[in-house]
Amino acid sequence: MRKILVTCPPMLKQINEYRYIFEENDIELVAPEVVQVMTENQLVEILPNMDGWIIGDDPATARVFSAGVAGKLKAAVKWGVGVNNVDFNACKELGIPIINTPRMFGNEVSDVAIGMMLNLTRKLHVIDKEVRNGHWIKPVGNSTVGKKVGIVGFGDIGASIGRKLKAFDMEIVAYDPNAIEQYDIPILNFPQDIESLDYLFLACALNTSTHHLLNEDILNRLKDTAIIVNVSRGSLIDEKALVSFLKMGKFNGIGLDVFEEEPLSMTSPLVGFNNCFFGSHNGSNTKEAVDKTSYKAIKLLFDFLGI
């Protein structure tokens, strides 16, 4: 009997809804309990017994794929959009067909990004916490109308952010060398005019050219009152540099759904700042989006395996 391993937490939370597909095709579904990722050693041990793998954010390294190919592994699919954890070159060298599932979460992740923006702009998380503690506070927020927004990465997620923010009467620009202009939003070269931004959204892929895209220099050039929202990958921001600026009182707010190390450690200096609002790398996780992406991933893997 063929075996398929699933290690993507959102898909695993709804895995019972997909079991019938595997059963109908006489496939054993292997669905371990995964909070965030499996370790490289765990994958090296289990993957040689699998015919296929639906990958989450696990360390899909050359070592892992080599172990799999030494056994039964024939194909893999990266669940979701981000692929920075997957060694595609190793797959090519080893002859493993692999693909991701792009353009699945634009609406869902953009909702979270804009939600973070609004929360930080009006200090809603602070108000909620204080009201629960019996303090009837009324902090002064800011208006969004007329403010300038920069969106780094103008693919499915970035374009969805821009399209929705058009209704807020904000001035919007995008940074993406591979994008075409949409929704009358101009495309600039990063970091052009970054000093003028009131909001900066990160929605681009993580690669060698975008690692620590927001470094000390860029963070310094941003307005002291700027709000930054990252719904892409944590390593787009140099967190040590960010903490240094936060300690100096810079930035009205930082919204992070992703971090350089996940889960976020309670010893991280970031947890001490009230002007930070955190997620758990969960921006895409809606019932509808997970279903859509999971069915797509299953179909792609079955096609690779000739099922």
Confidence of residue 109 (pLDDT cuts 50, 70, 90): very high
Q: Note if 132 is an active site residue.
A: no
Q: How far is it, in rounded angstroms, from Cα 212 to Cα 206? A: 9
Same domain, 244 and 294: no
pTM of the model: 0.90
Mean pLDDT of the chain: 97
For 237-267, what is each residue's pLDDT tens digit?
999 999 999 999 999 999 999 999 999 999 9
Same domain, 57 and 153: no
* Residue percentage of the chain with pLDDT more than 70: 100
* Model confidence at 35: pLDDT above 90: no
Q: Which of 108, 125, 239, 281 is catalytic?
A: 281
**How crowded is the C-beta side of 25, counted as CA atoms within 13 Å?**
18
**pLDDT confidence of residue 164:** 98
Q: How far is it, in rounded angstroms, from Cα 116 to Cα 256? A: 8
Same domain, 97 and 115: no
Same domain, 39 and 175: no
**Residue-number span of the structural domain to which 132 is assigned:** 106-278
Give me the residue label for tokens 């992740």: 109
Look at the chain and report how many structural domains it folds into.
Answer: 2
Q: Note if 212 is an active site residue.
A: no
Q: How far is it, in rounded angstroms, from Cα 10 to Cα 282? A: 9
Q: Which of 40, 171, 216, 262 is catalytic?
A: 262
Q: How far is it, in rounded angstroms, from Cα 59 to Cα 79? A: 13
Same domain, 267 and 298: no
Write down the number of H helices and E strands in the chain: 11, 12
**pLDDT confidence of residue 82:** 87
Output the domain CATH number for residue 35: 3.40.50.720
Q: How far is it, in rounded angstroms, from Cα 17 to Cα 102? A: 22
* Model confidence at 36: pLDDT above 90: no
Q: Which of 108, 125, 233, 239 is catalytic?
A: 233
Same domain, 260 and 196: yes
How remote is the C-alpha of 107 from its chain's centroid? 13
Q: Letter for the amino acid at 246? A: L
Q: Note if 260 is an active site residue.
A: no
Same domain, 134 and 88: no
